[in-house]
Amino acid sequence: MSYEPQKYPLPEPSPVPGCAECLSLGTARRNARSTHDYSAVTDANVLLRRHLAEAH
């Protein structure tokens, strides 16, 4: 088995249509970006990736 390192930066995860949690995280990310709070943008991306892995 070969290991291929992750390429960075990762693309932003996409919210699943019709999912309230995805919508909430996507909105939080958009609001953070609009205020130039890129730490919060990263946090929202991490939470959205985690949610996608666990719920979808």
pLDDT for 55 beyond 80: yes
Of 42, 41, 48, give the one whose Cα is nearest residue 19.
Answer: 48
Quick: pLDDT tens for 10-51. 899 999 999 999 999 999 999 999 999 999 999 999 999 999
* Cα–Cα distance measured from residue 8 to residue 3, given in angstroms and rounded to the nearest whole number: 16
Secondary structure (3-state) at 12: coil
pLDDT at 25: 98
* Cα–Cα distance measured from residue 29 to residue 27, given in angstroms and rounded to the nearest whole number: 5
pLDDT for 2 beyond 90: no
Kindly report the pTM of this predicted structure.
Answer: 0.85
